[in-house]
Chains A and B, each alone.
Chain A
Amino acid sequence: MPFAFTDVEVEIRSNIRTLFRREWDRLALAGTWWSGAERGDIARAARHGRFGGDAQPSSLSDGAIEAAAAIGARPAAIRREWVERVANDLGYPRYVEIVGVTSRLAAIDTFHAAVGTAREPLPEPEPGEPSRSEEPQARPGAAWVPMVGGASITQALSLVDAESTAQEDMHGPLYLTYEGMAELDYVGGLSRAQMELVAARTSAINECFY
């Protein structure tokens, strides 16, 4: 079973193990705009961009590989013109799904490094076709991709509803639920101030304003 963490010296909470297994199930299945095999290739391209190693054969276009690698490796260097060029090639929904898959993979891979274990092998893809369900309420706005409602980090992937849901699913077990973020005096394994110090330093190293 994936994400057993048997070689890790500390106990990994069951909600984190369950979360990661659910994400691996998602990664293997067809998404909204990419098949399971293509989502696996997106993940491989992201890992190759971030960690190097031999490039793997891919079913993806050069633009999709470039997008996954850039988001995986050096997101602070991404600019509006580049997003427009990639999205003109792929379409905004496909680009947003790449953002979702790649960003959650980065979270899982980083967690593994942090607790001192090797990255989990990617899952075998499952057959099936993407749902290709459009989000009719999404509109262009202040951000670089269309989204539902005003530009907000919690709505960033809302052009592809399944990706937005997966983002929120990840946020709670790893950090705080969206609602829980209002608890400024929260204390768990860390105090809220300690959590925010870790978050702020992470963002600083990533040269991200957030």
Chain B
Amino acid sequence: MLRASAQVTTIPLDPRAITDRSVDPLLPAGEALLDFVDAVLTGDEASQEVTREAVAGELGPSGLVDAAGVIANFEMMNRIADATGMPVGKGTLKRTAEWRELIGIDRFNHLGS
């Protein structure tokens, strides 16, 4: 969906930032959002507070709440996908081949294959 939305809206974006934090995502407030995700999922309360304030500062309270909601939703969806063995469709695999190679997510060994 990131690939598709970036294409439709012609927003500059470097998708390598998804898996390589040394890469600038180019997207407005992208660094702040990535820092926030990292802090929420892997950081301590102090890092969460710092990154929360950064997102609110750049995107306002509604941006912060939206970001929290998206992280929460994908915590749910990731668990559902992993626990039910949801396969990725052939069409999706074909459409996303170039991005998957760029981002390097094939290494995630989805479904243990």
Interface residues of A (CB under 8 A from B): 9-13, 16, 71-72, 75-76, 78-80, 83, 96, 99-100, 102-104, 106-108, 110-111, 113-116, 142-145, 147, 151-153, 156-157, 167, 170-171, 173-175, 181, 184-185, 188-210
Contacts and interface: CB of A to CB of B under 8 A. Distances in A.
B2 A197 contact: yes
Given A114-B71, A185-B9, A189-B63, A204 B87 contact: no
Interface of A is mostly: helix
B70 A156 contact: no
Contact of B28 (A76, A108, A174, A194): A194
Given A103-B80, A210-B81, A10 B69 contact: no
Interface residues of B, number: 69
B69 A208 contact: no
B13 interface: yes
Interface of B: 1-2, 4-9, 11, 13, 15, 17-19, 25, 27-30, 33-34, 36-38, 40-42, 45, 48-49, 52, 56, 59-88, 103, 105, 108-112
Contacts of A185: 5, 8-9
A198 B18 CA distance: 9
B28 to A, nearest CB: 7
Contact of A75 (B7, B79, B109): B79
Which 7 pairs, one residue from A and one from B, show the smallest C-beta to C-beta distance?
A144-B85, A189-B62, A114-B68, A189-B66, A196-B2, A209-B110, A75-B82
Nearest to A192: B5
Contacts of A206: 41, 74-75, 78, 82
Contact of A199 (B52, B74, B109): B74
Contact of B82 (A100, A189, A208): A208
A200 B37 CA distance: 10
A175 B52 CA distance: 18
B89 to A, nearest CB: 8
A73 B36 CA distance: 20
Given A113-B48, A184-B9, A188-B66, A151 B79 contact: no
Given A193-B2, A202-B75, 16 more contacts: A11-B65, A75-B78, A78-B82, A83-B83, A114-B36, A114-B67, A144-B85, A152-B86, A175-B69, A175-B74, A185-B5, A189-B62, A190-B63, A204-B105, A206-B78, A208-B82
